[in-house]
Amino acid sequence: MQRSVILELAIIGALALLFVATAPVRPAYVDFALAGAAVALIVLSAPRSRQLWALAPPAAAPDARSAWELAGGFTVLSLVVLAATGVIVAHVRGDPWQPRFLNWHFAVAAAVYPAWGLLQQYIFQFYLLGRLLQLVALRFAIPIAACAFAAVHFPRWPVMLATVVAGSVWSFCYYRSRRLLPLAVAHGLLGAALHYWVLDHDLLDAWLPHWSWVEHAPAP
């Protein structure tokens, strides 16, 4: 079992490393397409993933309420930290902080982002973490999964720093509850907050550039 897991992860890791190294800057739709393809392949291996998770210790807090409370507590704390960081960054740059928080695009992105977050959490928790637990102890599996999660965001260093922290917490949450939905919602909210509040990056414009052109077109 361990040999097959090592071989499987080595192949996937080599392909991911090759892609990140050769295409560090890529359109958002490429990431969506690749994540969709990855999930399609991983769904095919879902029976094996369930088998591997069955070999892991049982969930310590499998009820939905505990899962939402744990993920929600981290999310609220992180939102406060991101909001404060956004104000500080705007002040350092000499920009007003209000536009970062009052852009209505944030609400749309935060509503859509959890779907993207669910894809990523499925890959890094249900698939990757379950396999790592067959190879190393939990105290090593969690940081390895978090570093892998951060690595796919290369070379966006601020995003990588945030994702290695969040990835560690989310892996711990999933290990305790085996529930993905609270993590997907947390991922969506924090991802949107990081981009809009801290990085001043409009995700909606990046995802739908033609919509942005229509929105800002001069009136006839």
Q: Write the pLDDT tens digit of every residue in 152-182.
A: 888 889 999 999 999 999 999 999 999 999 9
Which of these, 125, 120, 106, lies nearest to 189 by C-alpha position?
106
pLDDT at 190: 98
Is the pLDDT at 31 greater than 80? The verdict is no
pLDDT at 178: 95
Domains of the chain, by residue range, sit at 2-209
Assess contact for 101 and 197: CB atoms under 8 A: yes
Name the DSSP letter for residue 155.
Answer: T
Mean pLDDT on 59-66: 90
Number of Cβ within 10 Å of residue 218's Cβ equals: 4
Assess contact for 170 and 187: CB atoms under 8 A: yes
Name the DSSP letter for residue 89.
Answer: H
114: preceding bond cis by omega (within 30 degrees): no
Handedness of CA 17, 19, 22, 24 (dihedral sign): negative
Assess contact for 190 and 75: CB atoms under 8 A: yes
Burial 164-201 (b: 16+ CB within 10 A, else e): bebbbbbbbbbbebbbbebbbbbbbbbbbbbbbbbbbe
Distance CA 122, CA 92 (A): 37
Number of Cβ within 10 Å of residue 143's Cβ equals: 15
pLDDT digits over 1-28, tens only? 688 889 888 887 777 776 666 666 666 6
Distance CA 201, CA 158 (A): 12
Which of these, 160, 205, 191, lies nearest to 24 by C-alpha position?
160
Is the pLDDT at 214 greater than 50? The verdict is no
